[in-house]
């Protein structure tokens, strides 16, 4: 059901401008009622002969082979459709139709490596919210389809309309396409309140040195107790965890702001831009400037 939630973006865009900019149809191979993952049925019409401006392909909780008619329809639609998109595992269906060959694409992080194996001609980037490559748009899992749809509305009708729709949906405007699907805090998954408090303190004070002694004080533990408990709960040292938090914050600033690299390095606690550059190369395989350029290419000016 989350796969078709993105249609609300277009519905609210119509309401905002006061006219039917987007004429929304739900399609399936044979038409009629199609049962969703939750058991509710969605009324659909059969795949038509006339082309659409935009096609968005939803996915399944677990990818499985598609019908021959749907795959053939998508293959023929590419040259006559302004843009074709996928939400979550819908990328597997585009891959079956050959639409991902030679393109940079994304999907739900859990299925990304499987997609790469099934579509070796594509370049699957498993840590992106959505990617635009020519006329093909692909998004990450579940709610990322809303980000993709907001990106479409922004390109069609401008940022003001897209921002208004996001506010009505009570969602962030807007997660850039290049933003990570993961959170360092989520991945560390601290078990105790004391370690979580130290992590929260670190995230809110990235400009500080954040020594073990400082973090231990925030957790109300001795440095030795803190280091032992931190590694037991997160599987990494406090220093490595702090670097991950700095990297996550710096990457968001790099991709979503126009702050100079030196400012980003200072705001996120790296001693200088060179130290941040080395950390980016270790973590992402690319320097900050390349990540900024890629984010602008994927999301537009």
| 188 and 165 share one domain | no
Q: What is the pLDDT of residue 78?
A: 95
Of all residues in the chain, the percent with pLDDT exceeding 90 is: 63
Report the alpha-carbon distance of residue 212 to residue 229 in Å, rounded.
Answer: 12
Q: What is the pLDDT of residue 120?
A: 96
* Structural domain for 236, as ranges: 184-299
Q: Indicate whether 175 belongs to any domain.
A: no
Q: What is the pLDDT of residue 177?
A: 46
| 239 and 277 share one domain | yes
Q: Which residue has the tokens 């990106």?
A: 151
| 112 and 163 share one domain | yes
CA distance readout (Å), 59 to 2, 4, 66, 92, 139: 10, 9, 10, 8, 11
| 77 and 22 share one domain | yes
Instruction: At 23, list the tokens.
Output: 């004429």
Q: Is the pTM of this model over 0.85?
A: no
Q: Considering only CA atoms, which of 42, 24, 25 is closest in space to residue 33? A: 42
175: left (phi over 0), alpha (psi -120 to 50) or beta: beta
The reply to whether omega before 89 is within 30° of 0 (cis) is: no
Element (H, E) at 138: strand 136-139
Q: What is the pLDDT of residue 290?
A: 85
Low-confidence ranges of the chain (pLDDT < 70): 172-190, 296-301
| 26 and 151 share one domain | yes
The CATH number linked to 211 is 1.10.10.60
Q: What is the pLDDT of residue 190?
A: 66
Q: Indicate whether 179 belongs to any domain.
A: no
């Amino acid at each position: 059901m989350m796969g078709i939630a993105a249609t609300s973006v277009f519905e609210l865009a119509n309401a905002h401008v006061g006219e039917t900019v987007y004429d929304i149809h739900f399609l399936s191979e044979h038409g009629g009622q199609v049962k969703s993952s939750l058991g509710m049925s969605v009324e659909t019409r059969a795949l038509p002969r006339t082309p659409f401006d935009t096609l968005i392909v939803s996915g399944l909780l677990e990818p499985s082979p598609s019908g021959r008619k749907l795959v053939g329809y998508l293959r023929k639609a590419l040259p006559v459709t302004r843009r074709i998109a996928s939400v979550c595992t819908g990328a597997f269906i585009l891959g079956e139709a050959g639409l991902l060959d030679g393109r940079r694409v994304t999907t739900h992080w859990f299925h990304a490596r499987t997609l790469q194996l099934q579509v070796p001609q594509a370049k699957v980037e498993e840590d992106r919210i959505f990617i635009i490559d020519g006329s093909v748009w692909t998004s990450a899992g579940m709610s990322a389809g809303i980000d993709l749809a907001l990106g479409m509305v922004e390109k069609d009708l401008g940022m003001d309309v897209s921002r208004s729709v996001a506010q009505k949906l009570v969602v962030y405007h807007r997660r850039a396409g290049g933003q990570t699907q993961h959170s360092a805090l989520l991945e560390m998954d601290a078990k105790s309140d004391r370690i979580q408090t130290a992590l929260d303190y670190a995230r809110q004070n990235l400009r500080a040195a954040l020594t073990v002694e400082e973090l231990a004080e925030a957790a109300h533990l001795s440095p030795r107790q803190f280091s032992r408990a931190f590694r037991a709960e997160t599987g990494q040292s406090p220093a490595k965890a702090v670097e991950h938090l700095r990297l996550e914050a710096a990457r968001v600033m790099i991709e979503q702001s126009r702050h100079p690299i030196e400012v980003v390095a200072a705001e996120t606690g790296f001693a200088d831009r060179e130290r941040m550059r080395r950390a980016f190369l270790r973590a992402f395989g690319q320097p900050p400037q390349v990540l900024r350029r890629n984010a602008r290419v994927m999301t537009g000016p």
